[in-house]
Amino acid sequence: MNYKFKTQPYAHQMTALEKSWNKESYAYFMEMGTGKTKVLIDNLAMLYDKGKINGALIIAPKGVIGTWYNNELPAHLPNHIGNVSILWQSNITKKQQEKLETLFEVEEALHILIMNVEALSTDKGMKFAEKFLSCHETLVAIDESTTIKNPKASRTKNILSLAKSAKYRRIMTGSPVTKNPLDLFSQCYFLDPFHLDQDSYYSFRMRYAIMKTAHIAGRKIQLVAGFKNLGELSEKLQPFSYRVLKEDCLDLPDKIFIKRQISLTPDQLKVYSQMKEKALAILNGKVVSTKNALTQIMRLHQITCGHFSSDDGATQPIKNNRITELMNVLEETEGKAIIWAHYQYDIISIIKEITKVYGPGSIVDYYGLTPQEDRQPNIKKFQDDPKCRFIVGTPSTGGYGITLTAANTVIYYSNGYDLEKRLQSEDRAHRIGQKKSVTYVDLMADDTVDEKIVEALRRKISIASEVLGEELKSWI
């Protein structure tokens, strides 16, 4: 491949490109943290250089479209490729409409449209995607392609219909089978209806699932009781997919950092704006102490996490997207994960949601309300029991002294201000006994103090001791 990389690929990324770059359809089944986004960007750049495409439609979950636009494309798309890159927004203002129109104006450029997968459930989103595909020779890629695993969902049906207009198709996910092998059907059908030799989900299910009849509320329904012919299914995947696990990548850095962005709900925006005005009123007109500024930031930070303290001291929930984004990340995660949260209220919410989805034996806790007699047994269960996939705790309680090397994914549901607690909690997984790279995922709300906190901690700044009151006020 006579191609000038902007950033040098790791060995497994180079292998992925060699296997896939000129194929019409391909699946990058690459575990979170192994750099599948870079592979896709290099792939579409190679095709553009060869005159094969002049457009790319990237479909991704809400939590990562901003990262695609703001970080990944600028980092990895070669400088010699002129491009027009636009991030889709559902609220199309006159200014946004003018931006969207540039996708059809510059002829000698790579036109890149990044859309959140939810937009393809709407008529507006579908019509624009169809217009874009009709005007360009395109590659369509689905990042975290398990978002189309449900063949009955409207967005799945719509995206499958778009595939017919794409010259090249790619899917990307770290965990192609999230609950059972039937998850593969829609993902592979998007690539090519003939890849799996089954023309419908039901014929696919008949071939690979063992069904049983159950009688519920006077009705007979079919339930999946087990699976069959999985060796055959695995062989069918081989020609058009490449599987990468972190444990197979010897050249990865020890620590890999990823951000997942969250939008505030209308209820959160309303309360956040009110609290922001109140905070500025309290801080204005006098010398701002760091302690006072941190108190106001904490109140705003709580709102981004989906709750706030009322005047009587009670915690009031606010409708939010944070727990949903956490569950999206867990669905993409292979193996075990540590989840750190700053507030006890969040720990309780996380335990409840994970138990509902993954079962009561899937999670243990280690925080202030965990009884002393349960703490060591919980660590042992997480380390030794294959059924226990998650441990959730606060860095102030669980961030010191314990070993959690069974996990190589660490998720920060929310962060505090203390750099030492952050670094100590990072090292629960990254210590002697850890044989893999560790991926750290920060959930953060766009355009809020949440974003500032994560950025400061990532730069190894201790917010409580190194950032002064007036500077903190500017964060608000």
Give the integer Cα–Cα distance in Å for 366 and 395.
Answer: 9
pLDDT digits (tens, 9 = 90+) for 309-357: 877 778 899 999 999 999 999 998 889 999 999 999 999 999 999 999 9
Q: Which domains does the chain carry?
A: 11-202+229-248 (3.40.50.10810), 255-263+318-475 (3.40.50.300)
Binning pLDDT at 50, 70 and 90, where does residue 95 land? Answer: confident
pLDDT digits (tens, 9 = 90+) for 21-47: 999 999 999 998 899 999 999 999 999
What is the structure's pLDDT at 1?
61
Give the integer Cα–Cα distance in Å for 413 and 365.
Answer: 14
Residue 87 has pLDDT above 90, yes or no: yes
Give the integer Cα–Cα distance in Å for 472 and 212.
Answer: 60
Q: Whole-prediction pTM value?
A: 0.85
pLDDT digits (tens, 9 = 90+) for 192-214: 999 999 889 999 999 999 999 98
Give the integer Cα–Cα distance in Å for 198 and 202.
Answer: 9
What is the structure's pLDDT at 432?
66
Give the integer Cα–Cα distance in Å for 313 and 360.
Answer: 31
pLDDT digits (tens, 9 = 90+) for 42-72: 999 999 999 999 999 999 998 899 889 988 9
Q: Smallest Cα–Cα separation from 298: which of 453, 184, 440, 447?
A: 453
Give the integer Cα–Cα distance in Å for 195 and 214.
Answer: 32
Give the integer Cα–Cα distance in Å for 431 and 118.
Answer: 39
Q: Residue 229: how many CB atoms within 10 A of its CB?
A: 13
SS3 state of residue 42: helix
Residue 216 has pLDDT above 90, yes or no: no
Binning pLDDT at 50, 70 and 90, where does residue 237 land? Answer: very high
pLDDT digits (tens, 9 = 90+) for 101-134: 999 987 789 999 999 999 999 999 999 999 999 9
Q: Smallest Cα–Cα separation from 114: which of 68, 168, 43, 58?
A: 58
Average pLDDT of 295-306?
Answer: 93
| Phi and psi torsions of 141, nearest 5° | -125, 140
